[in-house]
Amino acid sequence: MKRPLAAYSSVTAAYWAFMLSDGALRILVLLHFNALGFTPLQLAWLFLLYELAGMATNLCAGWIALRFGLTTTLYAGLALQIAALAALAQLDPGWTVAASVAFVMAVQGVSGVAKDLAKMSSKSAVKLLAPSEGALFRWVAVLTGSKNAVSGAGFFLGAVLLALAGFQTAVWAMAAVLAAILVAVVAFMPAGLPGRTKGAKFSGIWSRDTRVNRLSLARLFLFGARDVWFVVGVPVYFQSVLSDGTDEGRRAAFFLIGGFMAFWIIAYGAVQAAAPRILARTPDLARAAARWASALA
């Protein structure tokens, strides 16, 4: 079968565009609501459903891909993100804190589902091109690393848009760009990605390899530990330190916070992309992992 390079390229480009908007949306929501006076705990609630919805979607990703096909899940991810952005633009500053938190939580939940549908589509498409398992590891590492680099750029873009254009204008602009990208992807997506498979069983979401299940569980706690400080703690602290309360001070803080977050995520993505080379130089992975875990702890 001819390997669908054009289809893979289209999926990857759409995924990059999605992650750009996702990174921008996360920093937009955080900085905007922090500037409105939301407490760190209230801000954490805004992202709770986003993470839980992403976890649930990730858990079911294999079955969803088999049941509906990769192109459909990609289109659904982009469409849901557009809907989430359009809904977020309807937020009324006159609402109570409880109503605002509940509304944004729901919108962020939709965005979490959208993110993992798009991520699953792009990473699954890699398997159609990689000639071997070793190449698959390298290709997924590069895709994941580039995704984080794009997401980091999105963090900076979101902070810049918030500083220069304001919350609602920034959200509508991202929705419009993402809608144009969805139309282009639907119009020019070539054939080649797997379609729906009849009779796909939901029980197939669990891997038969216990090592894969253990790695998945470890990844859950790894990213939870990262998000403890990364999602709310550090940006909120920086905003309290860098902003003097004036409009000019807030805008300057937005630029600095967005720049720091972008740098950190891009560097993080570079390490991910280099993971295959790092591991290739490490003959005893178990001992090396134990040493790294001890040092990081």
Q: Which residue has the tokens 């991202």?
A: 174
* Length of the chain measured in residues: 297
List, for residues 16-74, the tens digit of each pLDDT value: 888 888 889 889 888 888 888 888 888 888 888 888 888 888 777 777 777 777 778 88
Average pLDDT, the chain: 82
List, for residues 277-286, the tens digit of each pLDDT value: 887 777 787 7
Q: Which residue has the tokens 């893979």?
A: 8
In angstroms, what CA-CA distances link 210 with 1, 76, 89, 137, 217? Answer: 32, 31, 44, 19, 11
Q: Which residue has the tokens 């939301």?
A: 38
How far is it, in rounded angstroms, from Cα 172 to Cα 114?
17
List, for residues 113-160, the tens digit of each pLDDT value: 888 888 877 777 766 666 566 667 777 777 777 888 888 899 999 999
Residue 124 amino acid letter:
S
List, for residues 106-117, the tens digit of each pLDDT value: 998 999 888 888
